[in-house]
A and B are shown apart, each in its own frame.
Chain A
Amino acid sequence: MRFNGFHAAALGVLAVLGASPAAAKTISVSATTPDANEKLQEALILAEPGDIVQLGAGVWTLTDGLSLDVAGVTVRGAGAGEGGSILDFTGQQGAGEGLLVTSDDVLLTNFAVLNTKGDGIKSKGADRIVYHQLRVEWTAGPKETNGAYGIYPVESTDVLVDSVYVRGASDAGIYVGQSKNIIVRDSIATENVAGIEIENSYNADVHDNIATKNTGGILVFDLPSLPMQGGHNVRVFENIVNDNSTPNFAPKGNIVASVPTGTGVLVMANRNVEIFDNVFADNGTANVMIVGYRYEHKDPNYQPLPRAIVVRGNQHGKAGYAPKFPGGDMIAAAMGGAIPPVLWDGSGDAVVLDKVGVLSLNLPDVKTPQSEAKPAPADLSKGTPPAALPAITLPESMEAKVK
């Protein structure tokens, strides 16, 4: 059944048929159909489990955010690059994101979402979601007026982000929040404030990505006063994390506005995070930074310290030559022009087996202001790392979708 250029009458017939069971079908929608925004939204509403909503090639000029609430639907475009299916939200008038998915077992593949006013693509409570070969971009590059998150799964179990490209997010390019069992791989995050961020989440593998020219490349955070917290068991490995030199352009007040320009991987207040076999270079503040949550909070259940952090087997290029945290330039000058590639605020515990220097700010109590830092080299190589974390495996139904 093709929806290409269909008429209101045809829609009416379909609407009356409503939920009658039908074989899986492909619903094609054209970018040039009149009222394309409304027609595409209708297709997303009328799709049934198993259906494919096929986005025609071309530039879709959209004014209102789209949403999908039917389980088991695939939204497939003709490509994420030029000549593909480009959902252009430059003139967006409503909704907090370009596309919102709230159903399980959805595959999003081969299209682009550009210049949304808020987030790019958000999925909430959408288990087993697959983001594949997508592009989310703010085409004017880094600007504070860009939307916050590019790809934004939250409150979900089993999340796969595979082969996506995200550029220009004023918070995080790829942001996974309050979720469990996550893989982010083979993706490129560039010119965002945070390239990839795993926040308040359990069990994540972030691997084989390129995080370059962001403010901070890859962030693993835990924040207080949220429904799901106590982030743990995150592996960051075999990524290229280089030249994260874009000045921080996040709107003030957001936690990422505090990320120093030139940060490679930043771990804040998580436990059991492994950072291994990555290639780091040209991160002016630090290749790896390990810190506690140093803001005031009133959450008795919150654990603000980084614990059981392991750094091993990474390649370290040039780093620490332009540390953008308060007092960083003075410390660098005192140390001959650069600080070591691993920076620790002195809170919690970490094991660093890489043969590079570690600078501790010696602030074990997160309530101590940073102005009281007593920076000094630290040796974190003597500790015994905890048992290695197992690899994340996702349901076979998800992996089958990207084969």
Chain B
Amino acid sequence: MKRILAAVAATLLCASGGAAFAPPGVDQALVESDAMPPKLSAFGLFRGNDPGQPSTGVAYTLRAPLFSDYTEKHRFIAIPAGKKARVGSDGVIDFPVGTVLVKSFGWNDVGGGRPVETRLLIHRASGWVALPYIWDADGKDATLALGGRRVPVTFKSPDGETHSIRYAVPNKNQCKECHSLNGEIVPIGPKARNFILDPAASDAVRARYFENPAALKPTMPIWDDPKAGSVADRARAYLDVNCAHCHNPAGSASNSGLFLRWTDDPGGVNYGIGKRPTAAGRGSGGMDFAIAPGDPAHSFMIYRLESIDPGIAMPEVGRSTVHKEGAALLRQWIAEMPRGASN
């Protein structure tokens, strides 16, 4: 992460220092075309095509990130010159056409920490487009993988356990399954409530990328910092980011009636409290309720989070390992609910 921040800082320094050393930048015409170039390098998003050196943009992190098999994610936003993002009154960030959200996924102990894949979310005149690129074996470029791919990797999770999995790079449609609102692609993570712009970014940089940077006030707690919020609030932040992109009335799981946004009523049946399974199949695990207050062992939300069987596991895409720490937080949250709270 530090490396990226340094690189971004250097880039900005460069840009402000004068045009003479302006790096070869983003091919904005390509970004805004309908093309799906077979090589990531075509966009010019990285200097020397080094995934650690964005050629433009500003880095960001999230208070609660989507779990993706313990990958480290490096994110930045590229916004074309003369344009800015705007934070709406509802906290949704409106990015101008020409914006690219760049997210690289990897593990520190796999391939020397180089990313395995880089996903682009590009805002074109026709809407957002999601493109997945997998880094080539020689690490010099990444290749478009519209159909997705499984990549065998072995890594250690933070608790020291070794995992050997066939990591799933999502296909273009799967990108949309998560990034879907009313059938259109939208960004998930960058909402004011969850968004941390690079703390090293100066006020000038913030003002370069945002019309109203003061509106970037995150309200969700950092999900895994006990000092940042109550167990319930951190669990809700976790659910918002890991589930609510589908589990909202306009998302891919709208028909489930299970809605898990930060803004949803956490006491309601539609939040899972005393909610019977809908179209869950084996996902019910023989249990009656998504959340049985006080009883995580009989809450099939936990059962689904702790499974990697595709007929059971939630989320349905993007996960081949169990997120033990996330599941533990939700277990604690449910265990601390008064029993019978649904009645």
Cβ of A26 within 8 Å of any chain B Cβ, yes or no, is no
Contacts of A125 in B (CB 8 A): 183
A16 touches B287 (CB 8 A): no
Note all chain A residues with C-beta closer than 8 A to B37.
15-16
- CB pair A225–B320 under 8 Å, yes or no, is no
Residues of A within 8 A of B249 (CB): 227
* A39, closest chain B residue (CB): B147
- The answer to whether A12 has its CB under 8 Å from any CB of chain B is yes
Q: Which of A96, A102, A255 is most buried by chain B, counting CB atoms within 10 A of its CB?
A: A96
Q: Let me know if A38 and B286 touch, CB within 8 A.
A: no
Once the chains bind, are A18 and B275 in contact (CB under 8 Å)? no
Contact A170:B281 (CB < 8 A) given known A94-B168, A96-B316, A118-B310? yes
Chain A, residues 76-115, CB within 8 Å of chain B (1/0): the string is 0000000000000000111110001010000000000000
**A51 CB within 8 Å of chain B:** no
- Contact partner, A254, options B34, B281, B309, B320, Cβ 8 Å: B281
Asked if B278 CB lies within 8 Å of chain A CBs, one says yes
Residues of B within 8 A of A118 (CB): 281-282, 310-312, 316
Instruction: Tell whether A16 pairs with B35 under 8 Å between CB atoms, given A46-B146, A94-B317, A117-B311.
Output: yes
Is A254 a contact of B168 with CB atoms below 8 Å?
no
In angstroms, Cα B284 to Cα A171, docked, is 12
Q: Does B277 contact A (CB under 8 A)?
A: yes
Say if the beta carbon of A163 comes within 8 Å of chain B.
no
Q: Does A328 count as interface, using CB distance less than 8 angstroms?
A: no
B side interface size, CB within 8 A: 56
Tell whether A178 is near chain B: CB-to-CB under 8 Å.
yes
Interface of B is mostly: loop
A residues 307-353 in Cβ contact with B at 8 Å: none
Closest B residue, CB atoms, query A228: B255
Nearest chain B residue, comparing its CB with the CB of A144: B282
Q: Are B147's CB and A145's CB within 8 A?
A: no
Q: Which of B9-17, B105-113, B173-181, B333-341 contacts A (4 or more CB under 8 A)?
A: B173-181
**Which of chain A's residues have a CB closer than 8 A to the CB of B36?**
15-16, 18
CA–CA, A117 to B278, complex, Å?
17
Compute how far the CA of A64 lies from the CA of B276 in the bound complex, rounded to whole angstroms: 28
Chain A residue contacts of B177, Cβ below 8 A: 67, 100, 102
How many A-B residue pairs have C-beta atoms within 8 angstroms? Tell me: 168
The answer to whether A254 touches B277 (Cβ under 8 A) is: yes
Chain B residues lying within 8 Å of A387, measured Cβ to Cβ, are: none
A155 touches B254 (CB 8 A): yes
Query: Which B residues touch A102, using CB under 8 A?
Result: 173, 176-177, 180, 183, 252
Check A252 against B284 for contact (C-beta < 8 Å). Answer: yes
List residues of chain B with CB within 8 A of the CB of A296: 343
Question: Residue B148 at the A interface, CB < 8 A?
Answer: yes
Closest residue of chain B to A18 (Cβ to Cβ) is B34
Q: Does A389 contact B (CB under 8 A)?
A: no
| B56 to A: closest C-beta gap in Å | 23
B288 interface contact, C-beta 8 A: yes
Q: A15-B37, A63-B150 are in contact. Are A227 and B254 (CB under 8 A)?
A: yes
Q: Does B294 contact A (CB under 8 A)?
A: no
| One of A41, A149, A297 near B148 (C-beta < 8 A) | A41
The 0/1 profile, CB within 8 Å of A marked 1, for residues 6-37 of chain B is: 00000000000000000000000000011111
Q: Does B172 contact A (CB under 8 A)?
A: yes
Q: Are B147 and A45 in contact (CB under 8 A)?
A: yes
In angstroms, Cα B283 to Cα A69, docked, is 25
- Kindly list chain A residues whose C-beta atoms are within 8 Å of the C-beta of B197: none
Contact check, A117 vs B310: say whether CB atoms are below 8 A apart: yes
| Contact of A5 with B by CB under 8 A | no
In the assembled complex, A44 has its CB within 8 A of some CB on chain B: yes
29 A-B pairs with CB atoms under 8 Å apart are: A16-B35, A16-B36, A18-B33, A20-B34, A37-B147, A38-B147, A38-B148, A41-B148, A42-B146, A45-B146, A67-B174, A69-B176, A93-B310, A94-B168, A95-B310, A102-B176, A118-B282, A149-B281, A152-B279, A154-B279, A155-B254, A177-B279, A225-B270, A227-B249, A227-B255, A253-B284, A254-B277, A255-B277, A299-B269
- Contacts from B to A (Cβ < 8 Å): 33-38, 143-150, 166, 168, 171-174, 176-177, 180, 183, 249, 252, 254-255, 257, 269-270, 274-289, 300, 309-312, 316-317, 320, 343
Residues of chain A whose beta carbon lies under 8 Å from any beta carbon of chain B: 8, 11-12, 15-16, 18-20, 37-42, 44-46, 63-65, 67-69, 92-96, 100, 102, 116-119, 124-125, 144-145, 147-149, 152, 154-155, 170-171, 175, 177-178, 223, 225-228, 251-255, 295-299
